[in-house]
Amino acid sequence: MTQSGHDDRARSIERDSRPSVRTPLNNETVDTSSQIRRTALIALDSIADGGFAETEAAIDGDAESVILYRQGHEVRAWLNICPHAGRRLDWAPGQFLKSREGLLVCAAHGASFELAQGECVGGPCRGEALRAVAVEVRDGQVWLASA
């Protein structure tokens, strides 16, 4: 792929990416040196620092809702599934609750998750954790990495 083709697609992603809209991107590359498949999920700049976004990605062959949390230039990701009852954590598609203490709060039952590891620190699933999704930030994009 030419550099200009990559740049055109990156501009399109930034223009079309909205945290509250579930839009999977068909921007997949394969790193031939490691045989790791990477898929662009969302432009980093479309996630507010300290904020959340939601996107859909293929995880283990299934389309899954993924929560993205940005802190500076780092992004953490988890499946959008509360371990308590298997429900989504957002109160509306792509809209998440964050407590004054900086915890992600499940809209259904109030379980509270710390944002370093996704561990439930309060509520009905205390001690359990969100299922982490491997992502990386590169070239202004958040990428899903899978072997």
The overall average pLDDT reported for the chain is 80
Residue 61 confidence (pLDDT): 87
What CATH number did the domain enclosing 121 receive?
2.102.10.10
Average pLDDT for residues 105-124, to the nearest whole number? 96
Query: Rounded to whole angstroms, how far apart are CA atoms 133 and 136?
Result: 10
Residue 14's domain spans which residues? 3-146
Q: Is 130 helix (H, G, I), strand (E, B) or coil?
A: coil
Query: Rounded to whole angstroms, how far apart are CA atoms 47 and 141?
Result: 10
Q: pLDDT band at 37, cuts 50/70/90? A: low
Number of independent structural domains in the chain:
1
* Rounded-to-10 torsion of CA 114, 115, 120, 123: 60
Residue 26 confidence (pLDDT): 45
pLDDT value at 128 more than 80: yes
Residue 19 confidence (pLDDT): 37
Residue 86: partners with Cβ closer than 8 Å, 6 or more residues away: none
